[in-house]
A = this chain, B = another copy of it.
Amino acid sequence: MSGPAPFTRVAVIGLGLLGGSVARAVRTYLPGTVTTGFDADPAVRGRAREIALADTIPETAEEAVAGAGLVVLCVPVGAMAAAGRAIAPHVAPGVIVTDVGSSKAGVARALAEALPGVTVIPAHPVAGTEQSGPDAGFAALFRNRWCIVTPPADAASGDVERVEAFWEALGARVETMDAEHHDRVLAVTSHLPHLIAYTIVGTASDLEEVTQSEVIKYSAGGFRDFTRIAASDPTMWRDVFLSNRDAVLEMLQRFSEDLTELQKAIRKGDGAMLFDTFTRTRAIRRSIIEMGQDDARPDFGRSHSD
């Protein structure tokens, strides 16, 4: 980060994994910037104060946003409208409101309605872990990850640039696109993978002829990777599927067709088709590692000692 900090005071609303990481990252990478934090859950506010997640964590959203140049909404996408309404009367002119929601078209509509006349520049840092809550965040979460900014058509370029500068300061690489395209891209790179992981973990726990204890014991054969994703926050993911319904259903339809093709190949014993499919998927993994988007070590670098 060269140049002055893009904002002197940043308010973080919602202090879970993402909000906590934003607050910690500001402290680490923008040390001159003051942070305030708020969470609608008093227990989360209490815990956030204990671990000093932000410089101040007042009792109301009103106090949290007072004097802030940037407000970052870090609540589940289904709670964005309510969070927007709670701060609406207290957002001063010139303040920018952004968010970290995993779907963007629905969030943009909800925030535009909840915050009439306010500058809203939605964003989505493509980063996270399976953990949640105020203790789960860490400052380096966004480093070398992409943050997708989806400015409304009428956004002032200066406002967009300040939001981009903020995410770049936290270590993210920034890309802009329109909200609808974002939602199609993330439907395939994030939402569909989560839906499938939740499904297979559910399928495995419902079996009668294979016990749950066997599923757990022999999970190192591949299943355990899916359980990590399927341990993600249920509220967050319920809201993602409800808010990005059309794109998720479209990607799911294509996935189901492809799965049916492989199912037919297995049934018919078509080894050549299976081999071809399994060969071309290797190249994608290689590209992801070359782009710095995953750990190159085998097994993600998992510990293999006991």
Contact = CB atoms under 8 A, between A and B. Distances in A.
Interface string A69-111: 0000000001000000000000000000000001000000000
Nearest to A140: B304
B143 A306 contact: yes
Contacts of A214: 185, 189
A23 B182 CA distance: 48
Interface residues of A: mostly helix, strand, loop or mixed? helix
Interface string A213-228: 0111111111111111
Contacts of A202: 258, 277, 280-281
A293 B228 CA distance: 12
A115 interface: no
A60 interface: no
A51 interface: no
A25 B212 CA distance: 30
A217 B293 contact: yes
Given A200-B255, A298-B129, A189 B284 contact: no
B274 A230 contact: no
A141 B302 CA distance: 11
The complex is assembled from copies of this chain, and their number is: 2
Given A198-B278, A203-B255, A248 B266 contact: yes
Nearest to A231: B285
Interface string A246-257: 001101101110
A266 B241 contact: yes
Interface in A258-302: 258-259, 262-263, 266-267, 269, 271, 274-275, 277-282, 284-288, 291-295, 298-302
A148 to B, nearest CB: 7
A205 B276 CA distance: 14
A157 interface: no
A193 interface: yes
A138 interface: yes
Interface stretch (A28-36, A42-50, A232-240): A232-240
A284 B302 CA distance: 19
A284 B218 contact: no
Given A223-B190, A238-B278, A305-B140, A299 B199 contact: no
21 contacts: A128-B221, A130-B298, A136-B298, A138-B304, A143-B305, A144-B306, A171-B306, A188-B207, A193-B200, A196-B196, A203-B251, A205-B284, A216-B291, A217-B291, A217-B293, A224-B294, A234-B274, A235-B275, A245-B266, A248-B266, A294-B302
